[in-house]
A and B are shown apart, each in its own frame.
Chain A
Amino acid sequence: MAPASMSWPRVPRSAREAFEPYVPGAGCPWELGHAGHLLRRAGFGGTREELDTVLALGPEAASRALTEAEPDARLEELDDALSLVLDGGDPRRLRAWWILRMIRTRDPFREKLALFLHGHFATAHRKVRSARWMAEQVRTYLDQGKGPFGATAARVVKGPAMLVYLDAASSHRRRPNENLARELFELFTVGRGDYSEADVKEAARALTGWRVEADGVRFEPSAFDDGAKVVFGVKGNFGVDELVALCVGRPACALLLARKLLCAFALPDPPPPLVDAFARILRERGLALGEALGVLFASRLFYSQACRRALVKSPVEYVIGTVRALEVSLTGEALVAALDEMGQSLFDPPSVKGWEGGRAWLQAAAWLARARFAFEATRDADRVRRYLEVQAKRRGEADGTEGAVEALLDGDLPDRSRAHLRSWAEAAGGGAEVERAIVQSILLTPEFHCN
């Protein structure tokens, strides 16, 4: 009773065709695996019902439903609790708040995009030292992250967290601090090769005058360098808004965003023609990230072999996906600790470059943390047994192992591994410990860690 596993088409030859809508039909399958792929990439995976809904909608409508969803009103209760967290100032509780949002939300794309921006405009609580200001940044991503990138960038650059993190909170026209200017160019907008050292020095002048105090950000005109600056060959008395607009308007910015978005949502190492094509799609939409990703999620590229299980799940994707799939009940504290050990402490990335991702998630200590989390997630023997029973019943089988492989992996497991799990279950003939070990092992298959 194995589901049809037709191979996915290859990437279209031309970049233009790659971003055309994927139309299910001859040679273009639309099955469980495709629905799972979309829900894992645009969210954190899906329940049986959600998968069936996506299957019924088809790629284009499903992509729209995910990327254009309204905020989930049920999360307001969590957000109300946030103000208590912020008064306490504990960054671990701040992490737990966001993790609980991601577990409970019916609008997961908003959270995924916010996670992307959180890594892009990386700041760290260990330097910023204010849970409130860190939360303010995430609120910006959640509220307007889907919209034009320029507006998001301007808001973030003037926010207290960024100003403190990149030492611009006391930058004075007499001796401007270059840190924020440099990272604005190198990491947040145009990337290396599009600016000169002179641009950095001039941009640093444009970013003077901001002061961060306990109650927020203030602009101090006497500290601001209000002379003419020349950036990218353009002369003017720039302040931060003009500077950000200049950077975001450069073609190099759309290219940088295109590459990062494709690496995060499509495939690793995207070839330049695909990056160029996606950059054009972004520019046509005023760098509105939600809309552009909506095009990606409905595209032929997205449902091609090159994208299938091509990305390594980040710790957040792995943990949230597991919790949602198995309906595990673990405390916020436990989840925060697990993510720390896997190398993704929300609000505390390793550097202003964010998290590198990909293979970097798989180094030994991080992998063993994933293995220990899989143990925790399958600790409740009754829950595991019930889960296996549901899978067995769904398929009319005596043992739930195959069903669990289908539910957790869309059946994407090579034959020998599948046979191995099956024979392990048969040899054990039931028994709570082996059931737990088997489900834990499914969570530790390589495929489960690939989006």
Chain B
Amino acid sequence: MIDVARAGLGAAWGEGSVALDRRSFLAASAAASSAWLLGATGHWRPRPGADRVLLVVQLTGGNDGLNTIVPFEDDRYHRARPRLRIPKGSALSLDGRLGLHPSLAGLRAAWDAGELAVVTNVGVARPDRSHFRSMAIWHTGRTNPDGELYGWLGRASDVLGVKEGVASAIHVGRGEPPLALAARSVVNPSIDGLDRMRMRSPVDPREHLRRLREIYLDDHAGTAGVVASEAEAALALASRIDASAAKGAPRVAYPATAFGRQLRDVETLLGAGAPLRIVYVELDGFDTHAAQPEIHAALLRELADGLTAFRANADDLGWRDRLLLFVFSEFGRRVRENASGGTDHGAAAPVLLLGTAVKAGVHGGPPDLENLDDGDVSMRVDFRRIYAAILESWLGLEATPILGEQYEPFPVL
């Protein structure tokens, strides 16, 4: 039964241009899922590593953690931010002391279902307020990221390897591939829109691709060798995606933004059976030095709506238990607001994890606004402990070789 189900999915992936409609996908996926049901609990827990997907959502620019997970009972918070504060009545209380920014109302359902975990005061011991260095620290998992070529997820993908010509980690979005995904032995691709993942040729595309591959597999020296290997990987990926684009509109609509489209593409890739383990998306715009209230509210709404749609549509595909979402930013922002209606670069901030596997709830207390670190929220949890938990409990990998040092996994999974 398992083989028949897998064969159904396999036909949609990589062989010919079988374009299945959404209903067929759901049927095939359901058949596969039922084959995995086991045990007295009737609750499917996939083996660590196999078939689990990690979706990392990077909030780029330094998300204002204090206005995301709001310490609405703390007078110091309200005093430090006369213009920017979220009033007590507006915050959506999680545990009586911390509450969600009202724009994150979309995440309430996940909270009520016990599928949302918040870890507060996450950061590094000696915070760096430069976007690039701080992002590099989070991407590499190294206190000193200078000269580091590889990212934590890149190292993970070195271990996970390449299946069927497709790397196990992918970045969906515009712009540069994140350092987090840079790997030694595999080329983790960035894709921006599935429409753009196509080759064009005046002759038979398959024959042209074959001839180009012959050229790329020749001995090219130096930089040309690097180009050859990247070009070859790109062609392999294009062939795969071409054969497997899903049809049918998603049940829950995504935000009509780049971020929303990227989540939809992730859904398409996963729904088409792409053997991915790690997917990386970014939502940019959080560097709110000025005019923060409207900008931040809009971004958080986009985040909540996007993630909610993604989880709901993935649920339809039978992927409910196979997904873990991890939301982070390269630093928080200063406690005190500035004169431009915004906040400047700060330090520790909360991270979010969503999925059926999380230990739901708020982990850690509200930020200590009495004892600040040079005007910033100080760290209580080293972010590497979160990484260690994700690598070991979710991806089934040894964290220490990937992170370079031993960190005690934070008990959130």
Contacts and interface: CB of A to CB of B under 8 A. Distances in A.
A449 B289 contact: no
A171 B290 CA distance: 10
A441 interface: yes
Contact of B219 (A309, A352, A368, A416): A416
A434 B201 contact: no
A367 B174 CA distance: 13
Contacts of A363: 171, 176-177, 189-190, 230, 234
B197 A364 contact: yes
A268 B226 CA distance: 13
Contacts of A309: 221-224
Contacts of B192: 341, 365
User: Chain A: interface residue count, which band?
Assistant: 35 or more
Contacts of B191: 364-365
Interface in B110-148: 129-133
Given A343-B176, A446-B224, A359 B199 contact: no
B191 to A, nearest CB: 5
Interface in A335-365: 341, 343, 350-353, 355-356, 359-360, 362-365
Interface in A249-308: 268, 308
Interface in B222-262: 222-228, 230-231, 233-234, 237-238
A369 B201 contact: no
Interface string A318-336: 0000000000000000000
Contact of B208 (A197, A437, A449): A437
A447 B220 CA distance: 8
Given A268-B223, A446-B224, A446-B228, A375 B202 contact: yes
Contacts, number: 163
Contacts of B197: 364-365, 368
B218 interface: yes
Given A414-B218, A437-B201, A437-B208, A312 B176 contact: no
A76 interface: no
B175 interface: yes
Contacts of A192: 130, 133
Interface string B35-69: 00000000000000000000000000000000000
Contacts of B109: none
A167 B200 contact: no
A116 interface: no
Contact of A365 (B132, B193, B220, B225): B193
Contacts of B290: 167, 170, 177
A372 interface: yes
B3 interface: no
Interface in A29-87: none
A310 B222 contact: yes
B289 A197 contact: no
A137 interface: no
A107 interface: no
B206 interface: no
Contacts of B220: 414, 446-447
Contacts of A449: 224, 227
Contacts of A268: 223
Contacts of B224: 309, 446-447, 449-450
Nearest to A367: B234
B315 to A, nearest CB: 28
Nearest to A449: B227
Contact of B238 (A179, A310, A368): A368
Interface string B181-220: 0000000011111001111111100001001101110111
Among B215, B218, B228, B234, max chain A CB count under 10 A is at B215
A446 B290 CA distance: 45
B202 A440 contact: yes
A433 interface: yes
Interface stretch (B336-344, B349-357, B390-398): B336-344
Interface of A: 167, 170-172, 174-175, 177-179, 182, 186, 192, 197, 268, 308-312, 341, 343, 350-353, 355-356, 359-360, 362-369, 371-372, 375, 378-379, 414, 416-417, 420-421, 424, 432-434, 436-437, 440-441, 444-447, 449-450
29 contacts: A167-B290, A172-B339, A186-B130, A197-B129, A343-B176, A362-B226, A362-B234, A363-B230, A364-B230, A365-B197, A365-B234, A371-B200, A372-B198, A416-B214, A416-B219, A420-B218, A433-B203, A434-B202, A437-B203, A440-B201, A441-B215, A444-B212, A444-B215, A445-B215, A446-B220, A446-B224, A446-B227, A450-B223, A450-B227
Pick the 3 closest A-B CB pairs, nearest first.
A175-B339, A364-B189, A446-B227
